Structure 1
Amino acid sequence: MSVVDRHFAPDIPVTEIIAQGSPSLNQQIYLRLRLALSLNLRRQILIAVSDDPALRSQLATQLETDLAIELNPHGSRFTSFALNLDNPDVLDQLQPYLNPESGVPNFQITGIDRLTRQPVHIQRIFLESLTTIAQQLGNLEFNLVLWVTRPWCRAIQQSVPEFWQWRTGLFEFEGDPFGQDQIQSQPAPNGSSNGYRKFKLDSELADFVVASVMQTVNLDDQTALVNVLETNNPDSEPLRILQQIEDLHQARSSAASLAVPYRQLGDWYRDRLDPVRPAAEHLTIVIRAYEQALKLVDMKSDEVPDLLNDIANLYWIKARSGSGSVVTNLEKALKAYQFAVDRTNPEHQPQTYAMIQNNLGSVYSDLALHQSPEENLQSAIDAYRASIQARPFETDPARYAATQNNLGTAYWNMAQHRAPVQHLQAAVEAYNEALRYYTPEHEPLYYAMLQNNLGTAYWNLSRCDQAVQELAMAEDFLHLAIGAYRVALIYRTLEAAPLAYAATQNNLGTAYWHLANQQTTHYDDRSIHLLCAIDAYQEALSAVQYLEAASTPHAPPLSFDLSATHHHIGLAYYQTAIDARTELSLSDRTKFLHHALRHQVRAAQGWENQPEFQKSAVGQFSQIIRGIYERDGIQGQTQALSQIPPAFLGQVMREL
């Protein structure tokens, strides 16, 4: 059974910031790194990741100090190097210090982040040297720590996979996103007080921007950037904003003045993010730019909640795009949203407050997929309800309806963990409330989505013993589910929404199959329901073939288990074929049995990594073949056995 549609419509376009790791977490990561080196093992490749230059320098210095003491009893040494930017060949730089008679040498390389401003051919020397290390690692008796930023970590992973696979440890440190430690109140240069605060220019942000523009305009040398600026190339706009920021820093302008171009820089990149696959490099730039803006604006300003909401939304985008740790990015999004909620008055700013609570609920819902589902889903429900209370239907019906749909889905998910009847009833109520706005004339696809969600909630109620005992018969809930699915399919057509069409047809087939197998279903209706299930499943499979033929590299995945579809349609074909009351000819019954076998084989092959499910499909093989033998003799049985994959043939022969 496919999961309920997860429709999430952010209230506004989004933006993001660099998140804060707790000091205790960084300390734990540092202790793991130090322990890995103090064990005096050989051929360790350790990658330490931090986007905070000050933190990176502090940790590298501390590591050198600690290990100089800890490694001395073993006769080993620990040496730090700043990468030679004229010739960034790591192995060449280490070669003079590789003395096999002086214990296991340990090296750490810093300054790799400065490669960002170097020409491409210089960067290539560094990456090629890592390939050489990977190829010769069996003969190299040393340990190596590379201090890198996240962009360089991704570059190594993607460009030098043979080196990346030899890594023995990855240590990701976090900086302080909301900290104010870089900002100090000072008098203005003229001695007056104009709100000036000493603020250090984010040099890494400048590096990211320069590298981004060079890549966009296809340049290998930074000196050519001057020509790009002089030609007023629109792609060089980030450079102009960056120059403005540097000028304001040099003029010691006020914090409020500095915040404006940082926000403009983030907006420029945010507006150009690919909505399907946003570039990780561009997300990083937006993060850094908004981080700087947040540090500069007055925290009592009305601008702060919107900025924090943008920051959190971008973390949510980052989590869904697969850039970095999903859980870490979701937790950063939660932190920013919670900061925003704390700084928003629901009475004076109801729309902003409702928007942030809705977005907060969506992140809690996503986090529930990875950890503490009941706790996070309850937090999502609370956030959605707070949003609805602040923004009722009469105020903003479209966003009210979107939040009601999100609330219904959160209730549906909670029903999978506890109190199913209570939460499924609440889901039905929320979906019906959303239908106050989503009508087939106004929003046909959203209307169909809600009908599909309603159908799934009713189907789940049919599976709850408590609901069947206290509310209605399972047959009644299944009829409600089928009705909702069929309404959805009026608007969810193959042409308009092929992926959604396939999911709803699959849901419809499952509802019919369960209805056919209810004890209360009349035997005359049973065969009709099975044939309807077969038709719906066939439509779902045809839609999948259509999607595969027209697939794109980034096509979204199916929301249902295709192997389960094959298994259920196989059961429906078999049950129809052996039902004496079904009006089928002998030849049609045999065809149905062959169809049943073909689909069960597909199910078994698809469930290769799910042995319990595969067992269910394989268990049908011998029953179906017996049915074929009874109707078509040894010739039919031989033909059926030829369809069985060799891996399953022995088991089938034993059962026969």
Structure 2
Amino acid sequence: MSVNETTHSDNFAWNRQVYHRLKLALSLGLRRQIFVAVCDDLNLRNQVAARLHSTLAYPVGQVLYQPSNAQEASTPAYPRLVTLRLNLSDPNPVAQINQWLSSYPPPIVGASKDTPGRPLPIPAFQIVGVEQLTRQPVAIQRLFLHYLRLTEQQLSKFESSLLLWVPRPWLYAIQQSAPQFWRYRTGVFVFAGEPTPTTQNKSSPERFSGSRSLELGNVEQSILEESTIPDDFDFPTQKSVNRGHKPQEVPPSKSEILASKPLQEEFTDKASSSITPVPQQLSHINKELTELVLATINTAIAENDDQNLQVKQILEEIEELHAQQASGMKLAAAYHQLGNLYRLRIEQGHSNLENLMVAILAYQESITHDDNAPQVPDTLNDLGTLYWMLYHTPPNSEEGQAYIEQGIEFYHLALKLISPESHPDTYARVQNNLGTAYGDLARFANPAENWQQAVLAYSEALRLRTSEMEPLKYAACQNNLGTAYWHLAQYNQPVEHLKKAIVAYKLALDYYSPEQEPLKYGMIQNNVGTAYWNIAQYEQPTENLELAIEAYREALKYRTPANVPPACAATQNNLGTAYWHLANQSQTLKEERQKLLEQCVSSYEEALDLAHSLNGMPLSFDLFATHNNLGLAHFQLATDQSFDSDKATRSQHLEAALDNHLQALNGLSKKPDAYQTTFNYVVKTIRAFHNELGIQGQNLALSKVPAQLLPEILPKL
């Protein structure tokens, strides 16, 4: 494979493709593979290496080895990918790998009285830090190349796979000075990016996945907000922690555990005299766990000094317990305490990759040392939620499906260990979380099937989570069920599922006081309106559209511009759409139709005024579609001959229609289909100027059109 210097016009697309090829190569688990990853951008290298580690090191299937019979013991978690930083004093990658394997040999699983068992697969290894050799003496650099030349002799006994990260200068040095190693390469993976100076100690990595713009639907249709309900996605309530919520379409509050935080760098050099030192002799503790803990302590803020001291004390306790060959029960309790400490950090808003991974590894170690502990079902629920949170932690959106599926597997493991009769609270909690996870999975694959699974899970949770016992959790779960039914209606049996969605939403409303929970109450009313709007497309349109309008107007009493401007704008947009559809029902009288269109215009204008005032804040509806919809409403008010309007009023409506279509056209230059549809609206509106107002009206319209569009427009008039 050629690795000559190339220029990539779209680095993101190129790097994503290379990453997926590399991940696939590593996930095959083949022996004696030599992979070389070439990356000059250390920020990108750190991001990709961290993501490979979080995705491949501890896949669910290799974390919990469920015994096939009662006599088989559980085995501690063992990684499938190990990340090592090159030892600059003795830069011998193969020796470092052998040293790690001698300290952490593959455990034996499946042993019984009759069979000796089998060792788990030897992990693959990725080596980072080669770029730091540039600052080392020439003798050390030559020693590294000498060790690579010896790799040929060692491959006969090398049972693992190696991924070596290098920048381009070191790639060329290896090609020229270690041809023996180069000949044995299995694959070369070249990432695009600008070189990073090696003197840089710490960097601020950018998100690996770029943001994605909203896809625009058919602009002739009114765009409705896809309303999401805050989920009761909770950890066990018997522990002294705060319950978290899935993000809403409004900005999450500071108390939400899913607030996005910058990904902390996992592989940069970290050294500070003010940090809490980690014990140096931790030979019994999983090295991956130790290194992740070190990363979290060295990047922690000063106010966490007390927590860092607790971490240090727990690590010392775990090491001492290992040295004393303490019982699995004691070790499990210590690891569980470490997991709880990091879970607390996460719930305080520090949900970065390292904190999540430490909590995951600590809980996994806890279970594997004592899988009969009474808290195991709750811990499995927590593991499911932590993997689900990885999906919501930048830059992991590309791995979303894998993380969600891993979370779902943990939830199912928890459900296998309990029954509704023995653990009603935990059972309901896990089922609720399982429903949320299936809803997220539906965004990646098999939506109808996964939304059906979400409905089943929420329904099972509600069988135990009654309104008398936990009214607010009951209401939240009804919210979730209503949303799941709404999504399911988009794929099959729409009327039946939409009606069930409305029933669930209204049951939730019974337990949300608009005075005490105005935002949740307003959100559910918005969703009731959306469900009625959907049903109106199938049956009794006038009645259902009137019910939708009633629900939207009720929602706007609590979704105000002052309280939640993005949510208020979304509901105003929905209300405008409902007014427009009701105005165009065949049985709507002329006078009523004109009034409804004017109300439609007012709602759309309110939505757009709010949206433009938010300075780029994310919206749950398409701004350009709303401009087009507003333009269509003005056009109808100007051209409907049954309306009693004077010439000046018609001119005002046509000018407003043209202005809005031109604004939409200006924002759709990169969406050719939507651009062409909107361009046709512009031409149609200019023709209406001529029809309604004569040649002077047409000249007025053309004076508003950007000059570059005139050569294309004039031949169509």
Query: TM-score, length-normalised on structure 2?
Result: 0.64
Matches of 1:58 and 1:546, distance apart in 2 = 47
- The reply to whether residue 312 of structure 1 matches residue 388 of structure 2 is no
- CA separation of 1:81 and 1:579: change in aligned 2, threshold 3 A: closer
> Among residues 243, 251, 275, which one is paired with 2:324 in the alignment?
251
2:447 partner letter: P
In structure 1, the residue matched to 2:360 is 287
- CA separation of 1:602 and 1:36: change in aligned 2, threshold 3 A: farther
The alpha carbon displacement at 1:636 in A equals 4.6
- CA separation of 1:384 and 1:530: change in aligned 2, threshold 3 A: same
User: Do the aligned residues in 2 keep the contact of 1:212 with 1:281 (CA within 8 Å)?
Assistant: yes
The alpha carbon displacement at 1:417 in A equals 0.8
User: Do the aligned residues in 2 keep the contact of 1:107 with 1:145 (CA within 8 Å)?
Assistant: no
The alpha carbon displacement at 1:281 in A equals 1.6
> Among residues 506, 512, 515, which one is paired with 1:432 in the alignment?
506
In structure 2, the residue matched to 1:266 is 339
Give the secondary structure class of the aligned counterpart of 1:253.
coil
User: Do the aligned residues in 2 keep the contact of 1:265 with 1:289 (CA within 8 Å)?
Assistant: yes
In structure 2, the residue matched to 1:362 is 436
> Among residues 483, 488, 493, which one is paired with 2:560 in the alignment?
493
> Among residues 284, 289, 295, which one is paired with 1:205 in the alignment?
289
Give the secondary structure class of the aligned counterpart of 2:331.
helix
Matches of 2:567 and 2:548, distance apart in 1 = 16
Matches of 1:605 and 1:537, distance apart in 2 = 19
In structure 2, the residue matched to 1:652 is 713
User: Do the aligned residues in 1 keep the contact of 2:639 with 2:692 (CA within 8 Å)?
Assistant: no
How do 1:21-40 residues align onto structure 2 when only pairs under 5 Å count?
Answer: 29-30=28-29
Matches of 1:287 and 1:584, distance apart in 2 = 67
Give the secondary structure class of the aligned counterpart of 2:577.
helix
CA deviations over 1:141-198 (Å, ceiling 9, x no partner) = 956769xxxxxxxx99x95999x99xxxxxxxxxxxxxxxxxxxxxxxxxxxxxxxxx
The alpha carbon displacement at 1:208 in A equals 1.5
The alpha carbon displacement at 1:604 in A equals 2.6
User: Do the aligned residues in 1 keep the contact of 2:57 with 2:82 (CA within 8 Å)?
Assistant: no
The alpha carbon displacement at 1:399 in A equals 1.0
The alpha carbon displacement at 1:136 in A equals 9.8
User: Do the aligned residues in 2 keep the contact of 1:262 with 1:290 (CA within 8 Å)?
Assistant: yes
- CA separation of 1:161 and 1:27: change in aligned 2, threshold 3 A: closer
Q: List runs of 5+ in structure 1 lacking aligned partners.
A: 1-24, 38-44, 65-79, 111-125, 147-154, 166-198, 219-227
The alpha carbon displacement at 1:355 in A equals 1.0
CA deviations over 1:124-149 (Å, ceiling 9, x no partner) = xx99x737559999999956769xxx
Matches of 2:348 and 2:312, distance apart in 1 = 24
In structure 1, the residue matched to 2:167 is 130
Matches of 2:503 and 2:460, distance apart in 1 = 17
The alpha carbon displacement at 1:618 in A equals 1.4
Give the secondary structure class of the aligned counterpart of 1:366.
helix
- The reply to whether residue 51 of structure 1 matches residue 91 of structure 2 is no
Matches of 1:445 and 1:107, distance apart in 2 = 65
The alpha carbon displacement at 1:436 in A equals 2.0
In structure 2, the residue matched to 1:510 is 577
User: Do the aligned residues in 2 keep the contact of 1:618 with 1:648 (CA within 8 Å)?
Assistant: no
Task: Give the aligned length.
Answer: 521
> Among residues 364, 373, 390, which one is paired with 1:301 in the alignment?
373
- CA separation of 1:217 and 1:513: change in aligned 2, threshold 3 A: closer
1:509 partner letter: G
User: Do the aligned residues in 1 keep the contact of 2:442 with 2:450 (CA within 8 Å)?
Assistant: yes
The alpha carbon displacement at 1:535 in A equals 0.6
User: Do the aligned residues in 2 keep the contact of 1:83 with 1:90 (CA within 8 Å)?
Assistant: no
In structure 2, the residue matched to 1:640 is 701
- CA separation of 1:55 and 1:428: change in aligned 2, threshold 3 A: closer
The alpha carbon displacement at 1:496 in A equals 1.3
How do 1:46-85 residues align onto structure 2 when only pairs under 5 Å count?
Answer: 49=53, 50-51=56-57, 55-56=80-81
- The reply to whether residue 447 of structure 1 matches residue 559 of structure 2 is no
Matches of 2:445 and 2:709, distance apart in 1 = 37
The alpha carbon displacement at 1:453 in A equals 0.8
User: Do the aligned residues in 1 keep the contact of 2:634 with 2:656 (CA within 8 Å)?
Assistant: yes
User: Do the aligned residues in 2 keep the contact of 1:210 with 1:239 (CA within 8 Å)?
Assistant: no
1:501 partner letter: C
How do 1:504-583 residues align onto structure 2 when only pairs under 5 Å count?
Answer: 504-548=571-615, 557-583=618-644
Query: TM-score, length-normalised on structure 1?
Result: 0.70
In structure 2, the residue matched to 1:278 is 351
- CA separation of 1:640 and 1:135: change in aligned 2, threshold 3 A: farther
1:209 partner letter: V
The alpha carbon displacement at 1:290 in A equals 1.4
Matches of 1:445 and 1:217, distance apart in 2 = 33
2:659 partner letter: R
In structure 2, the residue matched to 1:238 is 311
Matches of 1:455 and 1:291, distance apart in 2 = 44
The alpha carbon displacement at 1:233 in A equals 5.1
The alpha carbon displacement at 1:26 in A equals 8.6
In structure 2, the residue matched to 1:222 is none
- The reply to whether residue 629 of structure 1 matches residue 713 of structure 2 is no
- CA separation of 1:604 and 1:292: change in aligned 2, threshold 3 A: same
> Among residues 332, 338, 347, which one is paired with 2:412 in the alignment?
338
- CA separation of 1:134 and 1:510: change in aligned 2, threshold 3 A: farther
Matches of 1:160 and 1:137, distance apart in 2 = 29
User: Do the aligned residues in 2 keep the contact of 1:393 with 1:400 (CA within 8 Å)?
Assistant: yes
Give the secondary structure class of the aligned counterpart of 1:216.
coil
The alpha carbon displacement at 1:648 in A equals 4.6
- Greater shift, 440-449 or 355-364, is seen at 440-449
The alpha carbon displacement at 1:534 in A equals 0.7
Q: List runs of 5+ in structure 2 lacking aligned partners.
A: 1-23, 37-44, 59-77, 85-92, 98-124, 159-163, 190-197, 210-282
Give the secondary structure class of the aligned counterpart of 2:458.
helix
Give the secondary structure class of the aligned counterpart of 1:518.
coil
- CA separation of 1:246 and 1:533: change in aligned 2, threshold 3 A: same
CA deviations over 1:227-255 (Å, ceiling 9, x no partner) = x99xx755433222212221222122222
- CA separation of 1:88 and 1:429: change in aligned 2, threshold 3 A: same
Give the secondary structure class of the aligned counterpart of 2:392.
helix
Matches of 2:536 and 2:176, distance apart in 1 = 65
- The reply to whether residue 460 of structure 1 matches residue 534 of structure 2 is yes
- CA separation of 1:33 and 1:639: change in aligned 2, threshold 3 A: farther
In structure 1, the residue matched to 2:102 is none
- Greater shift, 430-439 or 88-97, is seen at 88-97
User: Do the aligned residues in 1 keep the contact of 2:352 with 2:393 (CA within 8 Å)?
Assistant: no
Matches of 2:549 and 2:442, distance apart in 1 = 29
In structure 2, the residue matched to 1:179 is none
In structure 2, the residue matched to 1:216 is 300
More helix by share: 1
Matches of 1:607 and 1:95, distance apart in 2 = 56
User: Do the aligned residues in 2 keep the contact of 1:448 with 1:491 (CA within 8 Å)?
Assistant: yes
Matches of 2:627 and 2:153, distance apart in 1 = 56
Give the secondary structure class of the aligned counterpart of 1:345.
coil
Give the secondary structure class of the aligned counterpart of 1:406.
helix
1:354 partner letter: A
User: Do the aligned residues in 2 keep the contact of 1:90 with 1:130 (CA within 8 Å)?
Assistant: no
Matches of 1:33 and 1:625, distance apart in 2 = 70
Give the secondary structure class of the aligned counterpart of 1:259.
helix
2:522 partner letter: A
How do 1:164-203 residues align onto structure 2 when only pairs under 5 Å count?
Answer: 200-203=284-287
CA deviations over 1:65-87 (Å, ceiling 9, x no partner) = xxxxxxxxxxxxxxx99778895
1:313 partner letter: T
- Greater shift, 48-57 or 272-281, is seen at 48-57
Matches of 1:562 and 1:269, distance apart in 2 = 40
- CA separation of 1:211 and 1:539: change in aligned 2, threshold 3 A: same
Give the secondary structure class of the aligned counterpart of 1:493.
coil
Matches of 1:349 and 1:453, distance apart in 2 = 33
- CA separation of 1:139 and 1:161: change in aligned 2, threshold 3 A: farther
Matches of 2:350 and 2:622, distance apart in 1 = 24
Matches of 1:475 and 1:83, distance apart in 2 = 65
1:493 partner letter: T
In structure 2, the residue matched to 1:353 is 427
User: Do the aligned residues in 2 keep the contact of 1:81 with 1:107 (CA within 8 Å)?
Assistant: no
